[in-house]
């Protein structure tokens, strides 16, 4: 059973609340049809799709500020989606039905939550666009360099970056074989494109493609 820590300001509309989860707990099952959207405010998580045979495929990794909802994740009928905590997490849930239904008091909190929903939708679209941009690259080297370039952009161009994913999770994110990815990372080090140690990477030379 997932234990939640829910906080409300009784003076405000009951549109949102915070819940806490421990590592490996299910944050949301896409079959629940709760009408909720979630924003990860602390920790890391991922979205998995499980088919009838029990095969688990990771669709997306979530970091602080990432959003999720059954509205955002479209799956075939034979698959079920789950949001799973990778670390201890805090999630802000927003009740879509209540927000869209309005409130009689016209409170400021209602307006704040509506703005948050718009920003959450825009953020999710941006994250999906970034991943599609990366996955559309032809070679494994191009995918890796594109991923690292986006990560460098997120940290304002710092020379050394620490990626938020483990190397195994990075292979899942890029939809590539982990062993092949590790061999390519070694070649990229040997070719002077990057300098890496574990999750730490430094881009030494801008990649121009094959």
Provide the Cα torsion 29, 31, 57, 79; round to 10°. Answer: 160
Which residue carries 């009838």 as its tokens? Answer: 52
* pLDDT greater at residue 24 or residue 205: 24
Q: Report the C-alpha gap between 199 and 180 in whole angstroms.
A: 17
Q: Per-residue pLDDT tens for 81-107? A: 899 999 999 998 887 666 665 555 555
Q: What pLDDT is recorded for position 170?
A: 92
Instruction: Write the CB contacts of 71 (distance below 8 Å, at least 6 apart in sequence).
Output: 37, 96
Q: What pLDDT is recorded for position 111?
A: 61
CATH code 2.60.120.10 region(s) in the chain: 16-133
Q: What pLDDT is recorded for position 4?
A: 35
CB-CB contact of 198 with 150 (8 Å): no
Model confidence at 6, in pLDDT bands (50, 70, 90)?
A: very low
| Residue burial 24-44, b: 16+ Cβ < 10 Å; e: rest | ebebbebeeebebbbbbeebb
Query: Average of pLDDT values for 130-138?
Result: 87
Does the pLDDT value for residue 191 go beyond 80?
yes
Instruction: Write the CB contacts of 62 (distance below 8 Å, at least 6 apart in sequence).
Output: 40, 44, 45, 46, 47, 68, 83
Dihedral of alpha carbons 118, 128, 52, 168, sign: negative
**CATH code for the structural domain at 16-133:** 2.60.120.10
CB-CB contact of 59 with 49 (8 Å): yes
CATH code 1.10.10.10 region(s) in the chain: 139-203
CATH class of 139-203: mainly alpha
Q: In the chain, count H helices and then E strands.
A: 5, 11
Query: Average of pLDDT values for 53-71?
Result: 82
The percent of residues above 70 in pLDDT, for the chain, comes to 71
The percent of residues above 90 in pLDDT, for the chain, comes to 34
Answering whether pTM is above 0.85, one says no
Which of 62-76, 81-95, 187-201 bottoms out in mean pLDDT, i.e. has the lowest?
A: 62-76
Model confidence at 69, in pLDDT bands (50, 70, 90)?
A: confident
Does the pLDDT value for residue 52 go beyond 70?
yes
């Amino acid at each position: 059973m997932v234990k939640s820590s829910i906080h409300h300001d009784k003076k405000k509309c009951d549109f949102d609340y915070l819940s806490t989860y421990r590592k490996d707990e299910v944050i949301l099952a896409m079959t629940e049809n709760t009408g909720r959207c979630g924003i990860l405010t602390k920790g890391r998580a991922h979205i998995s799709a499980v088919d009838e045979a029990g095969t688990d495929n990771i669709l997306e990794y979530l970091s602080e500020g990432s959003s999720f909802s059954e509205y955002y994740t479209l799956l075939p009928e034979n698959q079920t989606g789950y949001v799973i905590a990778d670390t201890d997490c805090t999630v802000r849930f927003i009740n879509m039905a209540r927000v869209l239904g309005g409130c009689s008091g016209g409170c400021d909190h209602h307006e704040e939550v509506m703005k948050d929903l718009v920003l959450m939708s825009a953020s999710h679209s941006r994250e999906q666009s970034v991943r599609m941009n990366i996955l559309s690259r032809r070679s494994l080297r191009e995918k890796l360099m594109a991923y690292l370039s986006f990560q460098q952009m997120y940290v304002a161009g710092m020379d050394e970056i620490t990626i938020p994913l483990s190397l195994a999770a990075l292979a899942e994110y890029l939809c590539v074989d982990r062993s092949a990815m590790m061999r390519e990372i070694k070649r990229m080090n040997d070719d002077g494109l990057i300098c890496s140690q574990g999750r730490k990477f430094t881009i030494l030379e801008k990649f121009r493609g094959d």
